[in-house]
Every structure is written in C-alpha cells, then in structure tokens.
C-alpha cells in the first residue's frame, strides 16, 4: 500500500471503518461501523469477501487467533428503542431485556493474521493525544487482550504478545 493514495473509500456516508487487521495474503479485514458486517479488501482496493453478523451487532474490533477471526461487537441500538430523559442528555433503552450489550463471535476464515506493529508514542504525541480529548481506550484494550488470551487457550494457540 502506498502512503500517498486513498486505499478504500466508503460510498455510503453512514458507514466508516471501525477496526481492521491484515491477513496472511495481505488482504485487509475491516469492521464497518454503522453496519453488521466485516469486509475483506484486496491489495487492489476491491471487496473480495464479506461476513454478515446477526443484524443488531455492530463490529467494533477484530483479532486473529490462528485461522479464526475474533469479532467483538456492540449492540446497535436503534433510535426508536431509546427514550429521551427530559432536560438531560441521558437516554434509556425502552426494553432492558432487548438491550444485550454485545458479543464475541469467532469465524474460521482460513487465513492467519499478520503481526501488528506497535508504535510507542513519544512525549509530543502523548501531549497531543491528551489535549485532543481522545482516549486510547485502556479498559477496552485490556478486555480485548483477555478475550484473545481466553480464545488462544481454548483453541491451543499461543496468544500474540501485541494483541
């Protein structure tokens, strides 16, 4: 992939990339936010595969464990399922039983993942991040690591140290 070119453009304005991993054939698996699908994009920027999750589950992170793609989801709550609280920004889900919070799916896709390359932020980058209001999602990353370790032990694989 060249640094100076657009690799893939989402045509639907309500869709955007949430997470991605690269497989052993240099294809990108991309969790598409606002949907219940993961797409596989070739090095030539073409969609060559797709995974559809149960309709209420939006993929938010992807990891490889052996030939399996581990997909972490959140429930995509629809606007008509939410009650606004007068005078506040708080919202309540109308039916708590319907509000499953998300799931972890595994799909045997027949490809292994390439190792992720970690980048250590320097003082300047950390300062910019801190002042931006963005978060590295520490609790989320801890959860993903623990889930990856669990599935690795379950399937007899050794967890990647950079998951």
Cβ within 8 Å of residue 50, ≥6 positions away: 37, 38, 39, 40
Chain segment 17-55, per-residue pLDDT in tens? 999 999 999 999 999 988 889 999 999 999 999 999 876
pTM value is: 0.61
CA contacts within 13 A on the Cβ side of 118: 7
The domains found in the chain, sorted by start residue, are: 16-119 (2.40.10)
Chain segment 78-93, per-residue pLDDT in tens? 555 544 444 444 444 4
Classify 151 as helix, strand or coil: helix
Cβ within 8 Å of residue 89, ≥6 positions away: none
Confidence of residue 56 (pLDDT cuts 50, 70, 90): confident
Nearest to 35, CA basis, from 91, 80, 92, 74? 74
Residue for token pair 């969609």: 47
CA contacts within 13 A on the Cβ side of 32: 22
């Amino acid at each position: 992939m060249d640094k100076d070119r657009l690799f893939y453009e989402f045509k639907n304005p309500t869709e955007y990339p949430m997470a991605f991993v690269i497989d052993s054939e240099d294809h990108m698996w991309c969790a598409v936010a606002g949907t219940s699908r993961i797409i596989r994009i070739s090095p030539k920027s073409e969609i060559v595969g797709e995974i559809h999750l149960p309709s209420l589950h939006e993929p938010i992170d992807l990891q490889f464990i052996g030939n399996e793609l581990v997909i972490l989801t959140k429930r995509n709550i629809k606007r008509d399922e939410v009650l606004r609280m007068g005078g506040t920004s708080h919202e309540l889900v109308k039916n708590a039983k319907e509000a499953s919070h998300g799931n972890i799916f595994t799909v045997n896709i027949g490809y292994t993942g390439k190792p992720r390359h970690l980048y250590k932020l320097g003082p300047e980058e950390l300062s910019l991040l801190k002042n931006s209001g963005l978060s590295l999602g520490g609790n989320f990353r801890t959860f993903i690591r623990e889930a990856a370790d669990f599935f690795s032990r379950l399937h007899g694989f050794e967890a990647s140290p950079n998951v």
